[in-house]
A and B are shown apart, each in its own frame.
Chain A
Amino acid sequence: MTMASSAPQDPRRTGRYVYATAVFLLCAWVLGPLYLLFVNTLSSPEAVNSFPKAYVPEFNFESIEFFMEFAGMTSALWNSIKVATLTMIMSILVGAPAGYALSRFEFKGKETFRILILLTRAFPLPLLALPLAVLFIRTGLDDTIFGLALVHTTLAVPFAVLITFSLFSGIPMELEEAAWTLGCNRLTAFIKVVLPLILPGITASAIFAFVISWNEVFAAAVLTIENRTLTAFLLQNLDTSALHLKFAGGFILVVPALIFIFAVRKYLFAMWGIANR
């Protein structure tokens, strides 16, 4: 060992150090804030506001309990779930057939269509939210779960289309054709062959849509007043709250999204791997 350390540095070892450092920094970048959020949420209000900070959670649920009893909190949580679920269903119902069409059929303007789908993401939401608010007030969609879900669906649909497009493209056409020669029509072949193969991916992209809606705050804040979602509700109330409550609010927001993403991580990586085709 002494010989090895006195010898000139092996470039492979240097490479390994750089690699390890990079991995550490990237992990710290993601996990550090999450850990601090976790510690401060599960600490007593006194501990959060005192100095020096604790780095080990006390498992004090005071802040969380306070939060759950906060007026309007549960209804906001419930609204968030409803909006996100509706977004999830609508974006798959719209996105999956579009993805199938993009993957299986040749039609005029196909490439333009693909680019247009991406372009919808080029408009900053504030630009859209105000005209939308006016439009929604005129049509009576303002401050409704459905109206907000509609906006979130437009945000989630591009992802749903591109993700399902690559999922469908990953299923060889021959499988469908084989099913046709074996007695299926287009629909039964889809149900019996394509759907079982793509279902995990569809689930992943549905949950992705759910998370997009869950985390969206701007449209939610502009378009709802009474029926606030959790993000809008927290944005409105946390500003003036004590530090420990801010932590608790953040924690409640982050955890469901984290759980969802963790549950479908395998598919997310898979579809991102092929989504940039």
Chain B
Amino acid sequence: MAEIKIKNVAKNFASYQALNDINLTVSDQEFMVLLGASGCGKTTLLRIIAGLETATQGEVWINDRRVDHLPPKDRGIAMVFQNYAVFPHLTVFENIAFGLRMHNHPSAEITKRVHRTAELMHIERLLKRYSGELSGGQRQRVAVARALAMEPDVILMDEPLSNLDALLRLEMRAELKGVLAESKTTAIYVTHDQVEAMSLADRISVMNQGRIVQASDPVDIYRNPAEKFVAGFIGNPPMNFLVADKRPDGRWTVGGQPYDGPSCAENTLDFAIRPEDVVLAETGIKAKVNVVEPLGAHLLVTCDVNGAQFRATLDSDANIGRGDTIALQPQLDRIRWFNPSNGMRQSLEKNDV
């Protein structure tokens, strides 16, 4: 059992507020990903949980035990660092055994655990090597093995794959997910890579400017962004936004077309739709095509709708060229509305998403 509770955590660096009233609960065995652009405070939050950074205020609880006053070694955590932090003066075996030796495990137990985790991470053959004799991917395996060998309550990972090349990252990503699910450890994983976040996470916390904007499962984050920021951050390409004007009958005009929307006091809203949720139609939002990028399965079409940029991924059979004017029809149940004044999603009354 390892549940992590973060209560009202804030962090100031001099005059700069890095974290602002963070509240987050990570349940036992959950894989939580902190996702955000660089400088959003995700690493700071991870380091506060690890005990490498002290929060200016707030509490950190692991397993119903308040830990924010404890040094890292007494928190029951293990951490994997972005630059691996494999000790260069020790062999791979001694690296993995390091934490176990610090905790005075008997040597037979250490040997057993080192071999078991090394096998798990496929590095049995490297045990006698030094970190200088390893490739980046191998070092990353050693770093993960070293953390797993501790059999921690919580494993914290700070962009562990970002220093690997693309192919290796893909391979390690799948492996990491398998190994962590197997180990039944609670995991918090920091990344700026949304594909990585989507593929690994049970739940994603999207962070922006020192606060958690939305914490939910990957599909919910993708489909129902809580704020315009999330909608514009998640997805490649991200959601399209168009200005919607209220009509006298309560419907909304978007790109010259009327759509049903929320009934609210505002006179304008942001209409949002994902590029893959529009189709070519006879009538619809008029768009002037600026760029056509064939991607094999799809065409990524960048158009102009009343001066706003609008992207659509269309079927690659579509015969579209630069300068054409096309009509795009959004899939009605995928339309989302955002309040332009505060960026929050405007829910429809009836189905209340």
Out of B73, B85, B88, name the residue touching A183 (CB < 8 Å): B73
CB of A177 within 8 A of CB of B103, answer: no
B60 to chain A, nearest CB (A): 14
CB of B72 within 8 A of CB of A181, answer: yes
B57 to chain A, nearest CB (A): 20
Chain A, 166-180, CB within 8 A of any chain B CB: 172, 174-175, 177-180
Q: A177-B52, A179-B98, A193-B87 are in contact. Are A185 and B81 (CB under 8 A)?
A: no
Q: How far is the CA of A183 from the CA of B83 in the complex (A)?
A: 20
CB of B89 within 8 A of CB of A196, answer: yes
CB of B71 within 8 A of CB of A180, answer: yes
CB of A183 within 8 A of CB of B89, answer: no
- Residues of A near B5 (CB, < 8 A) are none
CB of B88 within 8 A of CB of A178, answer: no
A182 to chain B, nearest CB (A): 3
Q: A183-B73, A197-B89 are in contact. Are A174 and B98 (CB under 8 A)?
A: no
Please tell me if A184 contacts chain B, counting CB pairs below 8 Å: yes
Out of B85, B89, B98, B99, name the residue touching A177 (CB < 8 Å): B85
Please tell me if A188 contacts chain B, counting CB pairs below 8 Å: yes
* Beta-carbon nearest neighbor of B146 in chain A: A182
Q: How far is the CA of A184 from the CA of B103 in the complex (A)?
A: 9
* Interface band, chain A: 10 to 19
Out of A172, A175, A177, A192, name the residue touching B79 (CB < 8 Å): A177
Q: How far is the CA of A181 from the CA of B51 in the complex (A)?
A: 8
* Beta-carbon nearest neighbor of B88 in chain A: A197
A202 to chain B, nearest CB (A): 14
CB of B150 within 8 A of CB of A180, answer: no
Q: What string of 1s and 0s marks CB contacts (under 8 Å) between B70-109 and chain A? A: 0111000111011101011100000000110011000000
Out of B52, B82, B87, B146, name the residue touching A180 (CB < 8 Å): B52
Please tell me if B50 contacts chain A, counting CB pairs below 8 Å: yes
Out of A175, A183, A185, name the residue touching B87 (CB < 8 Å): A175
CB of A182 within 8 A of CB of B89, answer: no
- Residues of A near B51 (CB, < 8 A) are 180-181
Q: How far is the CA of A177 from the CA of B89 in the complex (A)?
A: 16
- Residues of A near B73 (CB, < 8 A) are 180-185
A43 to chain B, nearest CB (A): 49
Q: What string of 1s and 0s marks CB contacts (under 8 Å) between B236-255 and chain A? A: 00000000000000000000
CB of B83 within 8 A of CB of A181, answer: no
Q: How far is the CA of A188 from the CA of B73 in the complex (A)?
A: 12
Q: How far is the CA of A185 from the CA of B78 in the complex (A)?
A: 14
- Residues of A near B146 (CB, < 8 A) are 178, 182
- Residues of A near B89 (CB, < 8 A) are 193, 196-197
CB of B71 within 8 A of CB of A182, answer: no
Starting from the known contacts A175-B87, A184-B102, 6 additional A-B residue pairs (CB-CB under 8 Å) come to A172-B85, A178-B81, A179-B98, A180-B52, A180-B72, A181-B78
Chain A residues in contact with chain B, CB under 8 A?
Answer: 172, 174-175, 177-185, 188, 192-193, 196-197
Nearest first, the 9 A-B pairs at minimum CB distance are A183-B102, A182-B99, A174-B85, A178-B85, A180-B72, A181-B79, A183-B73, A196-B89, A174-B81
**Can you sample 22 A-B contacts with CB below 8 Å?**
A174-B82, A174-B83, A175-B85, A175-B88, A177-B50, A177-B52, A178-B146, A179-B87, A179-B98, A180-B71, A180-B72, A180-B73, A181-B52, A181-B156, A182-B98, A182-B102, A183-B99, A185-B71, A193-B87, A193-B89, A197-B88, A197-B89
